[in-house]
């Protein structure tokens, strides 16, 4: 009599945000759209001025960071160490207007690149928390004054 053999159960790989977004090609598209909006939006002039005129290296770093943050490999950390975003942005005056401009550029980039609205909303919630943490000026209203869906 044959007894069925069972395979040891393996955890089913969870689809990452990176996978849901479409991989590195689509992260690159998102970053290009993000900086295109930063270049053209009046409300983003102050945050655009925080960057070098040539955005090539800035784009490459953001792609590495986003790929890792979204669940891909750890190339950002391998090349640049821990993200320490607040420390890396401490030299810039970041208040509510800068936070909101950054988030508006990212939301516009999501919309321009056709990211699934459910994924966009999920990621915008997370980006809001990160962007809000970057605020470092004394004139910032409380955390709950603006919500990501308001942007």
Least confident of 21-25, 101-105, 146-150: 146-150
- Tens-place pLDDT, residues 31-88: 999 999 999 999 999 999 999 999 999 999 999 999 999 999 999 999 999 999 999 9
Cβ(29)–Cβ(114) under 8 Å?
A: no
Rounded CA gap, 43 and 35, in Å?
A: 13
pLDDT at 14: 83
pLDDT at 146: 45
Res. 12 pLDDT band, cuts 50 70 90: low
The structural domains of the chain, ordered by start, are: 22-77+89-137 (1.10.490.10)
Say whether 87 sits in a helix, a strand or coil.
helix
Q: Would you give the DSSP letter of residue 72?
A: S
Q: What are phi and psi of 14, to 5 degrees?
A: -85, 135
In the numeric block, the tokens 């609205």 are attached to 117
SS3 annotation, 125-141: HHHHHHHHHCCCCCCCC
Say whether 97 sits in a helix, a strand or coil.
helix
């Amino acid at each position: 009599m044959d007894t069925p053999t069972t395979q040891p159960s393996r955890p089913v790989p969870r689809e990452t945000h990176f996978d849901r977004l479409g991989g590195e090609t689509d992260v690159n598209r998102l970053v290009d759209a993000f900086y295109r909006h930063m270049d053209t939006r009046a409300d983003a002039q102050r945050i655009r001025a925080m960057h070098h005129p040539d955005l090539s290296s800035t784009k490459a770093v953001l792609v590495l960071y986003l790929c890792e943050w979204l669940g891909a490999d750890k190339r950002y950390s391998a090349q640049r160490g821990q993200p320490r975003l607040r420390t890396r942005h401490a030299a810039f005056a970041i208040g509510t207007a800068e936070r909101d401009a950054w988030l508006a550029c990212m939301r516009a980039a999501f919309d321009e690149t056709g990211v699934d609205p459910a994924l966009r909303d999920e990621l915008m919630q997370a980006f809001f928390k990160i962007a809000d943490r970057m605020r470092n000026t004394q004139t910032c209203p409380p955390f709950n004054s603006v919500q990501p869906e308001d942007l």
